[in-house]
């Protein structure tokens, strides 16, 4: 038997399930990007709001490209179990906020209509870094235009991706679809309506949610006594910090009541999260991929890697953060990375590295350069990234680069065994990864070249140990 609306009542009493009516109301939220993260993070916040009796937070969930992700959820009436596990214990919960689903590529009109539906008050997005395309701007604009033409209220459109200033980026993307020249009077009105009636808050979301695995599904079967093809595993910790900018200002206190932090200063949370958590994640993911350590917990479990990550955050990232409680933040992150319940695959995090590195590493390196301080940890991480483009680990196992830039990265890195310096230079010259300043910086290039040499000659582990000895 499968988890579904029909079987929900048969779950063991210890499992928290939705007790509110999931069919009586139209969804108030359209969410784009129906991956594991959203389902174990925001969908659980909305579940809390629904459980408190506010019926406006049901979700119309949109898979951007993959019917194979959406179909199993449909077959379970949008229900799935989440295992929440860390040092405090293990519990299972079935959130009930996902009421409807669509796939953007095959059901575009349904998505546009959902954005334009009278009950819709929010659009939230987790479409990943590479999802911020003109096509996304056009999809949102089509829905918003229908709302405006129908005389409906404006809505809050909240980007929740790991991009600095994500709300500003999204707003610019949507507006870019309105031609700047030869604007019709209707377009001009739409622009004014977007500015005065819609809100594009910036936000920082945080919870470690690995892609689902067979192991989690088996554990779900055991805990639920039912089959759940959509089960997820996550940690107890979650954080959602959002800019106080809403189409309906009353949403601020509502979200706060569910544990969301509403503030005028999202920036300091965003930058700390991107450079500390995500920056360390990318470094560990590449180290793990090259040294054949499958999970983040294996990386942080190796003492030299843990010290490396601790120092990367403490010495090279934290000096440039506006968040002052960085030491506690760092220590909490190390503990979260070590969570043995989270089988967080290094290859999953290494996915799309070309899109992630720009937010995660260069700001810290540039900060160190500006202060005349050392950037050795980041230089070594960059060297490991170069080594990663070879597509084979130190045990001789090949792996695929899952990245929109995979072909060009592998082409540039291919000859690094025979012409290491040329390859390092070519990869460090890419402004799409490093920005415009770093590719010009001779000392940066020299240090990455140095660490790349060590990595190629002695392997990643030895190179890290050497760095620790040097920086002691
Ligand atoms: C990870 C993030 O895959 C990745 O790039 O760094 O998904 C990370 O787990 C989340 O941002 C944590 O909030």
**Distance, C-alpha 429 to centroid of its chain:** 26
Model confidence pTM above 0.85 = yes
pLDDT given for residue 195 in this prediction: 96
- pLDDT of res. 179: 83
- pLDDT at position 180, please? 81
Helix (H) or strand (E) holding 45: helix 42-51
For ligand 1, atom 6, name the residue with the nearest CA: 278
CATH of domain 8-264: 3.40.50.720
What's the CA-to-centroid distance between 276 and ligand 1, angstroms? 11
- pLDDT attached to residue 182: 73
Residue of the nearest CA to atom 11 in ligand 1? 206
- Asked whether the domain spanning 267-471 has the same topology as the one spanning 8-264, the reply is no
Ligand 1 centroid to residue 207 C-alpha, Å: 8
Low-confidence ranges of the chain (pLDDT < 70): none
- Residue listed under structure tokens 């090259």: 290
State the CB neighbour count (10 A cutoff) for residue 309.
27
Cα–Cα distance, 439 to 356 (Å, whole number): 17
Distance 349 CA to ligand 1 centre (A): 7
Contact between residue 243 and residue 201 where contact means Cβ atoms under 8 Å apart: yes
Residue 262 bridge partners (DSSP): 242
Q: Measured from the CB, is residue 206 less than 6 Å from ligand 1?
A: yes
Quote the crossing angle between the two packed helices 460-471 and 442-458, to the nearest 10°. 130
Task: Please report the DSSP string for 313-362 in residue order.
Answer: IIIIIGGG-S-S-HHHHHHHHHHHHT-TT---BHHHHHTTHHHHHHHHSH
Cβ of 356 closer than 6 Å to ligand 1, yes or no, is yes
pLDDT for res 78: 98
The domain defined by 267-471 carries CATH number 1.10.1040.10:
yes
Q: What share of the chain is helix, strand, coil (3-state, %, to 5)?
A: 55, 10, 35
Give residue for tokens 């959602």: 240
Output the DSSP codes for 372-438.
T---HHHHHHHHHHHHHTTSB-TTS-B----STTHHHHHHHHTTTTTSHHHHHHHHHT-HHHHTTTG
**pLDDT, tens digit (0-9, with 9 covering 90-100), for 281-322:** 999 999 999 999 999 999 999 999 999 999 999 999 999 999
Q: Is 336 in the pocket of ligand 1 (CB under 6 A)?
A: no
Measured in Å, residue 333 CA sits from the centre of ligand 1 at: 12
Assign residue 81 a region (left: φ > 0; alpha: ψ between -120 and 50; beta: otherwise).
beta
For residue 356, which atom of ligand 1 is closest to its CA? 5
Pocket test for ligand 1, best of 35, 37, 234 (most atoms within 8 A of CB): 37
Distance CA 379, CA 371 (A): 16
Domain boundaries in the chain? Answer: 8-264, 267-471
């Amino acid at each position: 038997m499968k988890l579904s609306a029909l079987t929900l009542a048969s779950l063991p009493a210890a499992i928290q399930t939705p007790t509110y009516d999931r069919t009586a109301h139209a969804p108030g939220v359209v969410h784009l990007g129906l991956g594991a993260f959203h389902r174990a993070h925001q969908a659980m916040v909305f579940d809390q709001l629904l459980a408190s009796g506010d019926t406006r937070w049901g979700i119309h969930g949109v898979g951007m490209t993959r019917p194979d992700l959406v179909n199993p959820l449909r077959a379970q009436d949008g229900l799935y179990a989440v295992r929440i596990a860390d040092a405090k214990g293990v519990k299972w919960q079935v959130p009930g906020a996902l009421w409807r689903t669509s796939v953007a590529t095959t059901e575009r009109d349904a998505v546009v209509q959902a954005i334009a539906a009278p009950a819709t008050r929010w659009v939230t997005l987790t479409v990943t870094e590479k999802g911020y395309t003109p096509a996304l701007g056009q999809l949102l604009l089509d829905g918003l235009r229908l709302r405006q033409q129908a005389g409906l209220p404006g809505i809050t459109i909240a980007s929740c991706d790991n991009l600095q200033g994500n709300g500003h980026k999204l707003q610019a993307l949507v507006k870019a679809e309105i031609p700047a020249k030869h604007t019709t009077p209707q377009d001009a009105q739409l622009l004014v309506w977007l500015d005065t009636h819609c809100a594009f808050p910036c936000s920082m979301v945080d919870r470690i949610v690995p892609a689902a695995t067979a192991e989690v599904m088996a554990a779900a079967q055991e805990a639920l006594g039912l089959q759940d093809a959509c089960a997820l595993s996550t940690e107890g910790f979650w954080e959602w910090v959002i800019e106080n900018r809403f189409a309906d200002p009353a949403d601020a206190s509502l979200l706060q009541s569910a544990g969301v932090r509403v503030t005028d200063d999202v920036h300091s949370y965003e930058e700390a999260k991107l450079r500390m958590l995500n920056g360390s994640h990318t470094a560990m993911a590449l180290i793990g991929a090259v040294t054949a350590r499958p999970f983040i917990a294996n990386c942080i479990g190796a003492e030299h890697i843990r010290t490396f990550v601790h120092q990367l955050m403490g010495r090279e990232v934290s000096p440039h953060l506006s968040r002052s409680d960085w030491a506690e933040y760092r220590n909490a992150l190390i503990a979260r990375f070590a969570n043995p319940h989270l089988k967080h695959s290094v290859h999953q995090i290494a996915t799309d590295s070309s899109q992630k590195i720009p937010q995660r590493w260069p700001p810290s390196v540039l900060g160190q350069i500006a202060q005349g301080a050392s950037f050795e940890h980041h230089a070594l991480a960059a060297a490991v990234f170069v080594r990663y483009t070879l597509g084979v680990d130190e045990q001789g196992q090949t792996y695929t680069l899952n990245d929109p830039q995979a072909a060009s990265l592998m082409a540039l890195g291919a000859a690094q065994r025979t012409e290491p310096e040329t390859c390092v230079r070519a990869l460090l010259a890419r402004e799409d990864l490093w920005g415009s300043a770093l590719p010009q910086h001779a000392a940066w290039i020299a240090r990455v070249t140095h660490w790349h040499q060590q990595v190629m000659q002695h392997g990643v582990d030895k190179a890290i140990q050497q760095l620790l000895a040097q920086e002691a």
